[in-house]
Amino acid sequence: MATTTSASFSRLSIPPKSPSQPQFLIFTSPFQTKSPSSRTRFTCSAGETGLFTKLGRLLKEKAKSDVEKLFSGFSKTRNNLSVIDELLLYWNLSDTDKVLDELEEALLVSDFGPKITIKIVENLREDILSGKLKSGSEIKEALKKNVLDLLSNKGSKTELQLGYRKPAVIMIVGVNGGGKTTSLGKLAYRLKNGGAKILLAAGDTFRAAASDQLEIWAERTGCEIVVAESEKSKASAVLSQAVKRGKELGYDIVLCDTSGRLHTNYRLMEELISCKKAVAKVVAGAPNEILLVLDGTTGLNMLPQAREFNEVVGVTGLILTKLDGSARGGCVVSVVDELGIPVKFVGVGEGVEDLQPFDAEAFVNAIFL
């Protein structure tokens, strides 16, 4: 077993069991190797201390406390929808059809999608004509409640479902360019700050720079990482080895990166099935979460991607990125309603803390003034 040191990492080489098997490396941040005492604060047992329950609570509290960041992140969508306030300011019953037509247009421009938009507008029309809604402010509150109900009914499980066994395994999947590896790094930062001992797995063996990118995130977050030393290593082998190491060394969570792929590339999509099966052989019930990263700037165009990934591997949650640069925040509602998959995190900025746990009520308040 050979060890070399550099300014940033110490590299622990794990020899293969036979010459034909790929060799893997664990990169260890110096922060975690200073002394035994610096490691002991991460050696908490999920079963004994309820770490995963605590993490869920912390993430939910963070979502509530970071409302200002979420508010700022959805400013472009909110600007698109601000016309609704102007429409409702001087609303009267005789203007109902005209106002609802313009409200419909505002929702469509923000990528709520035709199906959702018609559902919301017709609900409002019915309540107005029945006399339930008698003022512009009441219509505005009813609009917000309609959107919140859509998110809550089909996407209520926004917390990470990590089970009770260690390590919990989270697979991150998605197309190239959607922010998959960056989202994984930011998620590692958030979970580690919650007290979890995190191991990263560089399962993107298709893109040459992917392991390097994840190594940078490992250094930034002070996490350890397993990478393949051989270019010929299969992604499933890397993830299997990482989960084995996570199990042997008492990690709480293994975060698995995967190769970015178009949803139309069936060979690469089949590779995801192999990865899923590989980790399940090591830890029963793994992966606990399969999170699909979707680029928020694509709006409703993300739906075909999400459908295909869900059919192949069974997506358990969504991470929507780059929403701060988009006026298409309504796609959050559409994707939840269409697929019944909860949004777990949203990306609202470039900073390491800008991957926000999704909170439906905070989201609704952020897009409607």
For 71-93, the pLDDT digits (tens) are 777 888 888 899 999 889 888 88
Whether the predicted pLDDT of 155 surpasses 70: yes
In 3D, which of 318, 15, 7 has the Cα closest to residue 183?
318
Place 263 in a pLDDT band, splitting at 50, 70 and 90. low
Extract the runs of DSSP E, i.e. beta strands, from 135-287.
168-174, 198-203, 224-228, 253-258
Task: Please say whether the beta carbons of 25 and 13 come within 8 A.
Answer: yes
Residue 135 has pLDDT above 50, yes or no: yes
**pLDDT score at 209:** 80
112 confidence band (pLDDT: 50, 70, 90): very high
Hey, CA dihedral for 184, 185, 191, 196, is it positive or negative?
positive
pLDDT digits (tens, 9 = 90+) for 351-368: 888 888 888 998 898 889
* 144-162 burial code (b ≥16 CB/10 A, e <16): eebbbebbbebbeebbbeb
Instruction: Give the confidence band of 26 by pLDDT, cuts at 50, 70, 90.
Output: low
Determine the pLDDT at residue 19.
46
**In this predicted structure, which of 48-57, 184-193, 206-215, 355-364 has the lowest mean pLDDT?**
48-57
CA neighbours closer than 13 Å in the CB half-sphere of residue 354: 17
**What's the pLDDT tens digit per position in 233-255?**
889 999 999 999 999 999 999 99
With a cut of 80, say whether residue 8 has pLDDT above it: no
* pLDDT, position 35: 33
* pLDDT interval class at 63 (50, 70, 90): low
* Overall average pLDDT of the 26-31 stretch: 47
Share of the chain above pLDDT 70, in %: 81
Packing angle of the helix pair 136-154, 360-367 (nearest 10 deg): 140
Backbone angles phi, psi at 11, to 5 degrees: -105, 120
pLDDT digit string, tens, across residues 283-320: 999 999 999 999 888 888 888 889 989 998 999 999 99
**The pLDDT value given to residue 64:** 58
Distances 65 to 26, 59, 358, 362, 365 between C-alpha atoms, Å:
35, 10, 12, 10, 13
For residue 108, CA distances in Å to 113, 151, 152, 329 come to: 6, 17, 21, 11
Give me the pLDDT at residue 62, please. 64
- Helices and strands, number each (H, E), in the chain: 16, 11
Query: Which pLDDT band, with edges at 50, 70 and 90, does 23 fall under?
Result: low
Give the whole-angstrom CA distance, residue 303 versus residue 337: 11
Confidence tier at 232 by pLDDT (50, 70, 90): confident
Q: pLDDT at position 171, please? A: 97
pLDDT at 61 (0 to 100) = 66
Res 24 pLDDT > 80: no
